[in-house]
Amino acid sequence: MTPELLAALEGAKAAKRPVALLTRLTDGAQHLWPDEVVPAPLADAAERALREDAAANVTLEGEAWFVHPHNPPLRIIIIGAVHIAQALVPMAQAAGYAVTVVDPRRAWATAERFPGITLIHEWTDDAVAALAPDSRSAVVTLTHDPKLDDPGLDAALKSDCFYIGALGSRRTHAKRVARLQEMGHSAEAIARIHAPVGLNIEAVTAPEIALSILAEVVATRRGAALARRPALAA
Amino acid sequence: MSDSEDVLATAANWRAAGETVALATVVETWGSSPRPAGSRLAVSASGKLAGSVSGGCIEGAVADAAKQTMASGAPQLLDFGISDERAWEVGLACGGKLKVFVEKLS
């Protein structure tokens, strides 16, 4: 790999731009897609590898190519700059997620409590809408306060984020479901919300709850059976 | 940040510090290989390692090949896997097979 190509890969990463590295395994010749024009079969494979976030092998004119997708990081948007969020942030970063914390309560969302993290002090619906969660984003509400959590969930349900989780007991969630239905969300849409948030590992402490949340996000992302829950009784 | 991209950043830093560096990338796997295609290991001429291409079973052999590639400049495609029942002693205890592409950063 040339230093120029390495710099281009690093540049794409910094710009959060998806690129695929194409390597001819016979001699190491390399191209970056879509920055460079490549034969259609390679371009198609690159597009698919990025979409599926999975590397691929392609044979072109009898020669083997390796198609290596470099997608921008997965994101976790955390609503609520609470104690559990403080535990979740470093775990999520270690797992490769870009983390944003949203909380209009400036006493909670401080640089002292969340060093080096993007903090947003807007109201939660505006903040989530502005962050525009996509299919590589997860949204987790942790404030335990309906006037902060509900608008964030409302905005998350309008996005195609791959995971939505909400802290709170089953009873709290039943009330939340009723409120979200009043806001116009269907039962099917609301069923996207994982609540109570996190895999059931009998978590007690803030780091344990954070672990259960991150585990559920990963399980959902990877399509694990653990991530599927029976529907809650209405 | 995916872990393989973090390896690239580390490799870039080593090179900026004047080191010769090679990159190894898993390009194909069969069976129960511990690291998926795309996983990277960076190796420096002074023996530093970053990232991984297996659970630790083949990193030594890959680092040896990386040193050859650093010297010759020629890339290599390495095959690892079970070739007989005793292969686990020197290869992959998991029973997987994989191909690793080794290239010089130059």
The reply to whether A102 and A17 lie within a common domain is no
pLDDT for position B1: 38
The reply to whether A18 and A109 lie within a common domain is no
Separation of alpha carbons B80 and B96, rounded Å: 8
The reply to whether A112 and A11 lie within a common domain is no
Domain final position from A55, A70, A85: A70
pLDDT for position A234: 44
Tokens of B57: 């079973």
Residue indicated by tokens 């944003």: A100
The reply to whether A100 and A166 lie within a common domain is yes
Mean pLDDT, range B88-104, rounded to an integer: 76
**ipTM of the complex in this document:** 0.85
* Cβ separation B12–A10 shorter than 8 A: yes
The answer to whether residue A165 sits within a structural domain is yes
Tokens of B2: 């995916």
The reply to whether A65 and A84 lie within a common domain is no
pLDDT classification of B32: cutoffs 50, 70, 90: confident
Separation of alpha carbons A142 and A120, rounded Å: 15
| Partner residue facing A9 (CB), from B8, B27, B75 | B8
Number of domains in chain A: 2
Q: What is the mean pLDDT of chain B?
A: 85
* Cβ separation B2–A66 shorter than 8 A: no
The reply to whether A128 and A25 lie within a common domain is no
CB distance A96 to A72 below 8 Å? no
The reply to whether A36 and A112 lie within a common domain is no
List chain B residues with CB under 8 Å of A10: 8-9, 12
Domain final position from A24, A50, A70: A70
pLDDT for position A86: 98
The reply to whether A157 and A144 lie within a common domain is yes
Domain span at residue A152 reads: 75-227
pLDDT for position B6: 85
The answer to whether residue A232 sits within a structural domain is no
The answer to whether residue A55 sits within a structural domain is yes
Q: What is the dihedral angle through the alpha carbons of A115, A121, A124, A127, rounded to the nearest 10 degrees? A: -90
Question: pLDDT tens string for chain A (234 positions)?
Answer: 999 999 999 999 888 899 999 999 999 999 999 999 999 999 999 999 999 999 999 999 999 999 999 999 899 999 999 999 999 999 999 999 999 999 999 999 999 999 999 999 999 999 999 999 999 999 999 999 999 999 999 999 999 999 999 999 999 999 999 999 999 999 999 999 999 999 999 999 999 999 999 999 999 999 999 888 765 544
pLDDT classification of B44: cutoffs 50, 70, 90: very high
How many A/B residue pairs have CB atoms within 8 Å? 63
Residue indicated by tokens 């040193």: B67
The answer to whether residue A220 sits within a structural domain is yes
Separation of alpha carbons A193 and A213, rounded Å: 12
Separation of alpha carbons A182 and A180, rounded Å: 5
pLDDT for position A41: 96
Residue ranges of chain B whose CB lies within 8 Å of a chain A CB: 1-5, 8-9, 11-12, 15, 23, 25, 27-28, 36-38, 75, 77, 101, 103-106
Strand ranges (DSSP E) for B1-106?
21-30, 40-44, 49-51, 76-80, 97-104
Q: What tens digit of pLDDT does each residue of B57-91 get?
A: 888 899 999 999 999 999 999 998 755 454 455 55
* Cβ separation B5–A13 shorter than 8 A: yes
pLDDT for position B56: 80
The reply to whether A160 and A189 lie within a common domain is yes
Percent of chain B with pLDDT over 90: 62
pLDDT for position B84: 46
The reply to whether A27 and A120 lie within a common domain is no
Residue of B nearest to A14 (CA): B1
* Cβ separation B23–A1 shorter than 8 A: yes
Domain boundaries, chain B: 3-104
How far does the CA of residue B11 sit from the closest CA of chain A (Å)? Answer: 9
The reply to whether A113 and A17 lie within a common domain is no
Domain final position from A70, A87, A107: A70
pLDDT for position A233: 47
The reply to whether A90 and A172 lie within a common domain is yes
